[in-house]
Chains A and B, each alone.
Chain A
Amino acid sequence: MDAAVRAYTVRLELVDEPGELLRALEPISENGGNLLSIYHERGNLTPRGNIPVEVDLECRPDRFDVVVDALRDAGVTVIQAGEDAYTEQVTVLLVGHLVDTDLSDTLSRVEACSAASVTDLSLDAPEGTDDVSSARVHLAVESDGVVEALETVRAVAEEKDLQVVEPLVEGSA
C-alpha cells in the first residue's frame, strides 16, 4: 500500500436481515478497499426502518468511486457518497498521563483549533488512570486540513507533555 492511500467514511443503510452486513462489505474488499472499522448501530433504526452502518475504509482515491459504485450495484443503500461529504480520517495515538491532563479538554481543544472533529476515541489505561495510558483518536478532517489538524494535536500534546504518534502522511517531513 503506498502513501497515497486515504481513509474514507461511508454511511450505509441495511435491511435488518441475516447476511446483509456481509453482503454490504464484500464490494468494498473486492474493489481494493481495506476495511478499518464498522460501526453497526443495531438498536437504532432509520426513518425507513433500516439499520444505519458506518464503515471506515482505506483505499486509493481513484478507487473510492469504484467502491461506492460497486456498493450501489450490489443493491446497498449508500447514504453519504456525495464527494463533498467525504472527509479524511486521520488516526493518531496519544501516550502519557492522559487522564490527569484532562483528556476531554485535550480533545475539545483539538476540535476547536482545527478543521477536525473527533469521531472515535479508545482509551487503554492498563495501569489505572494514574499511570501512563494510551488513546487512539480518529479525527474526521476536511481533505486539505490534515497538516493543520496534526499541528494542532502536536501543540496541545506538547503543552501537556504527551507523546503523539502521528500517521505517516504524504509531504509530512
Chain B
Amino acid sequence: MGAGAVGRSVVALAGEHGHDVVAVADSQTAVVDDDGLDAQAVLNRKSERGSVGDADPGAALDAEYDVLVEATPTTLDDAEPGFGHVARALERDRDVVLANKGPVAERYADVADLEAESAGRVRFEATVAGAIPVLGTIEDYGRSQVTAAKGIFNGTANFVLSRMAAEGLSYEHVLAEAQDLGVAEADPTFDVDGTDAALKCVILANVLADGDATYTLDDADVEGIRSIPPSALDLAAEDGRTVRLVGEATAEGARVGPRLVPESGPLAVTGTQNVVQLDTDAAGALELGGRGAGGDETASAVLADVRRLED
C-alpha cells in the first residue's frame, strides 16, 4: 500500500530479493495479479499516467498476499488510513511491514492488541532511521538489555545545523539552500520542528518499554531548531562543541531538542547522515550510522523485515 518514493522502491527491489509483488495500490487505484505483477510495467504506468492500475485501492487489501507493506504517508492522531490497512491484514492473519510511522507512533497499543489476536506479525524497521538497522539490533540484543537510544534522527535538521555551524549562516539562509538542493521539503515543518525525529523516538520508546507503557507523540517533549541563532553555534564552537537536534528514547519516554554535543563526538555527524547510539547494559554504547531517509534506503529496511518474516 502506497506508491510514493518508498513504495515504488519496494516494488522495484522486491524481485532482486526473491519476492513476487501481487498487488500495488496508491491512494486512488490498485493493480492485482495473484501470479505476480511485472514491476517495471507498474512503475512505468505510475510515472506516465500517475496511477498504478484500474482497480479500487481496496482490491489490493483483498489480494492473496503473504506480507502487506504499508508505505502510505505518515499521518498523526488516528494514523488512518495506514492503521486500517494494518488492521485488515491482521484480521486476515497476514504479516505486515510498516514504513509508515503513524500506526506504531500514535497507536502502538492498538497495533499490539490486534497483533496478539492474529497469526500475523508486525515489523517496522523502516520507520526508524531508514536504512540503519536500529530495531533489528535492539531485537538481537534483547529489548531489556538496551537502556536508551539517542541520536540524530532527522537528516534535514542535521543538514541545516551543520551548515549553519560550518558557514556561520542564518537558519533562513541555510533552509533556503537546503530546499534548493532538495534536502528540505517546501514545507519543512515536520523536520525542523522535531516532529519527525520525535515520532521515531516515540516508536523506540514503545519498543524499549516492551508493553509496560505505550507512548504517542503527545507524550514526547519536543523542541525544534528554528530559534537557534548562528551566535549560539559560534559560542558552542569556541568551546569545542556544536549543537545538533538530538532525539532520546528510553522505556520512560521520548525527548527531542537541540543539544550541545562534543564537536568530535559520534553524534556530531554532518550533512544528512543519521546516527543512533544504543546504550546497553553489558556491551556499553553501540553506534549505528548511515542514511536515515530516501526511497531505496527505506525500502532496503522494508525488505530486511520481509526477509526476517521468512524465518
On A, residues with C-beta under 8 Å from B are 1-3, 5, 34-37, 58, 91-93, 95-96, 122, 124-126, 132-136, 163, 165-168, 170-173
Is A95 touching B262 in the complex (CB atoms < 8 A)? Answer: no
Main secondary structure of the interface of A (DSSP, over half): strand
Is A122 touching B250 in the complex (CB atoms < 8 A)? Answer: no
Is A165 touching B239 in the complex (CB atoms < 8 A)? Answer: no
Cβ contacts A to B, 29 pairs, < 8 Å: A2-B266, A2-B277, A2-B284, A3-B277, A5-B262, A35-B240, A36-B239, A58-B240, A58-B262, A93-B260, A96-B227, A124-B231, A124-B234, A124-B235, A126-B231, A132-B227, A133-B231, A134-B234, A135-B235, A136-B235, A165-B259, A166-B260, A168-B150, A168-B259, A168-B260, A168-B261, A170-B279, A173-B148, A173-B252
Binds A, one of B38-46, B81-89, B122-130, B241-249: B241-249
Bound Cα distance A91, B237 (Å) = 12
**Which residues of the partner chain B approach A136 to less than 8 Å between Cβ atoms?**
232, 235-236, 238-239
**Which residues of the partner chain A approach B227 to less than 8 Å between Cβ atoms?**
95-96, 132, 163
Is A95 touching B228 in the complex (CB atoms < 8 A)? Answer: yes
Is A173 touching B248 in the complex (CB atoms < 8 A)? Answer: yes
Is B260 touching A134 in the complex (CB atoms < 8 A)? Answer: no
Minimum CB–CB distance for A105 against chain B, Å: 20
The residue from B150, B257, B259, B265 contacting A1, defined by CB atoms under 8 A apart: B265
Is A132 touching B255 in the complex (CB atoms < 8 A)? Answer: no
Minimum CB–CB distance for B151 against chain A, Å: 10
Bound Cα distance A126, B232 (Å) = 10
Given A173-B250, A173-B253, also A34-B262 (CB < 8 A): yes
**Which residues of the partner chain A approach B197 to less than 8 Å between Cβ atoms?**
none
Q: Is B285 an interface residue (CB 8 A)?
A: yes
Is B262 touching A1 in the complex (CB atoms < 8 A)? Answer: yes
On B, residues with C-beta under 8 Å from A are 148, 150, 223, 227-232, 234-236, 238-241, 243, 246, 248-250, 252-255, 257-262, 264-267, 277, 279, 284-285
**Which residues of the partner chain B approach A171 to less than 8 Å between Cβ atoms?**
148
Is B239 touching A2 in the complex (CB atoms < 8 A)? Answer: no
Additional A-B contacts beyond A1-B262, A93-B236, A173-B249 (13; CB < 8 A): A36-B240, A58-B240, A91-B241, A93-B235, A95-B227, A122-B238, A124-B231, A126-B229, A136-B238, A165-B228, A166-B259, A168-B260, A173-B148
Q: Name which residue of chain B comes closest to A123, CB basis.
A: B235
Count of inter-chain pairs, beta carbons less than 8 A? 99
**Which residues of the partner chain B approach A133 to less than 8 Å between Cβ atoms?**
231
Bound Cα distance A136, B234 (Å) = 10
Minimum CB–CB distance for A109 against chain B, Å: 21
Is A37 touching B239 in the complex (CB atoms < 8 A)? Answer: yes
Is A125 touching B279 in the complex (CB atoms < 8 A)? Answer: no
Bound Cα distance A91, B261 (Å) = 10
Bound Cα distance A92, B259 (Å) = 9
Q: Name which residue of chain A comes closest to B254, CB basis.
A: A173
Bound Cα distance A12, B189 (Å) = 49
The residue from B150, B229, B259 contacting A134, defined by CB atoms under 8 A apart: B229
Q: Name which residue of chain A comes closest to B261, CB basis.
A: A168
Q: Name which residue of chain B comes closest to A122, CB basis.
A: B235
